[in-house]
Amino acid sequence: MGLFTRFSRISRRRKLQLFYERMKPHAQTKILDVGAQVAPDDQNDCQLINSYPWKANVSAVNILEQHTSEIRQRFPEVDARTADARCLPWPDKHFDVVYSNAVIEHVGGLEDQRKMASEVMRVGRRWFVTTPNRWYPFEFHLRLPFVTWLPGQAYLACGRIFSYNHVRGRYVFGCDCSGLRLMTVRELRSCFGVSEIIPIRVTFMAETLVVIGGD
């Protein structure tokens, strides 16, 4: 197992542990997983859709039909739908908890991120949303050091020149990074209001920010 894979698994486990500790779900809790994906069998403790014991009360949404099809095949009791996180197809306060792991940084610009946050808070009574920390000195999507310390969205320009391609498994020139926008604590507060923001640290400083809010 490579260093980045090991790090990712530890981080995902800690986020899930915090989710269960803080949200305290039970057999009657209705949960929406925004951006849900099925994990391999040896990583069941890294994805909510795999680890959650009461799947009949879980709904899942992903913008890619490939991922929702995988969820339907693996967990037919889950209500899996293909939809955009900025326009969720459920009525107000339909869920007890909305969970979303590392999705909001992929939905577009700041206004798009505000739309997703608004939808999460609209359909859920409580929410648990995670995203990478903009100021961590290593960007894990691009796998480049210090680029997120550059002003504005200059880190994306660096990524377009040279960054890591996760499909090919190597560094390449000319990647499309247009769908990535990392967030700061201030931006998360502007999107989620009075919600609590908790840093999660695996290394020397927090790599992940977790937003917890609601009733």
User: What is 4-22 written as a DSSP string?
Assistant: HHHHHHHHHHHHHHHHHHH
Contact 114, 182 (CB under 8 A): no
Q: Are residues 29 and 16 in the same domain?
A: yes
pLDDT exceeds cutoff 80 at 168? no
Q: Are residues 140 and 38 in the same domain?
A: no
What confidence tier does 41 reach under pLDDT thresholds 50, 70, 90?
confident
What is the span of the domain harbouring residue 122? 3-134+182-214
Give the closest residue to 147 by CA, choosing from 177, 115, 122: 177
CA R_g for the chain? 17
Reading the block at residue 30, the tokens are 């209705």
Q: What is the CATH number of the domain that holds 125?
A: 3.40.50.150
Mean pLDDT of the chain: 93
The verdict on 42 and 117 lying in the same domain is yes
Cβ atoms 125, 153 nearer than 8 A: no
Which of 2, 66, 4, 17 is CA-nearest to residue 37? 66
Q: Note if the pTM is more than 0.75.
A: yes
Residues 10 and 66 in one domain: yes
Q: Rounded to whole angstroms, how far apart are CA atoms 200 and 50?
A: 21
Say whether both 38 and 116 belong to one domain: yes
The confidence score (pLDDT) of residue 167 equals 63
In whole angstroms, how far apart are CA 194 and each of 104, 186, 189, 215? 18, 11, 7, 11
pLDDT above 90 (res 64): yes
Whether 93 has a pLDDT exceeding 90, the answer reads yes
Domain shared by 160 and 187, yes or no: no
Residue of 91, 106, 99, 104 lying closest to 60 (CA atoms): 99
Residue 163: the pLDDT is 82
Whether residue 119 has pLDDT greater than 90: yes
Residue 143 has pLDDT above 70, yes or no: yes
Q: Are residues 74 and 103 in the same domain?
A: yes
pLDDT at site 177: 78
84 and 119 part of one domain: yes
Same domain membership, residue 73 and residue 103 = yes
Are 103 and 170 within one domain?
A: no
4 vs 155, more confident: 155
pLDDT at 63 over 90: yes
The Cα-based distances of 102 to 73, 95, 173, 178 in angstroms read 23, 20, 25, 16
DSSP class of 63:
S
Average pLDDT over residues 52-69: 97
The total number of structural domains in the chain stands at 2
| 201 and 106 inside one domain | yes
200 and 145 housed in the same domain:
no
Helix (H, G, I), strand (E, B) or coil at 155: helix
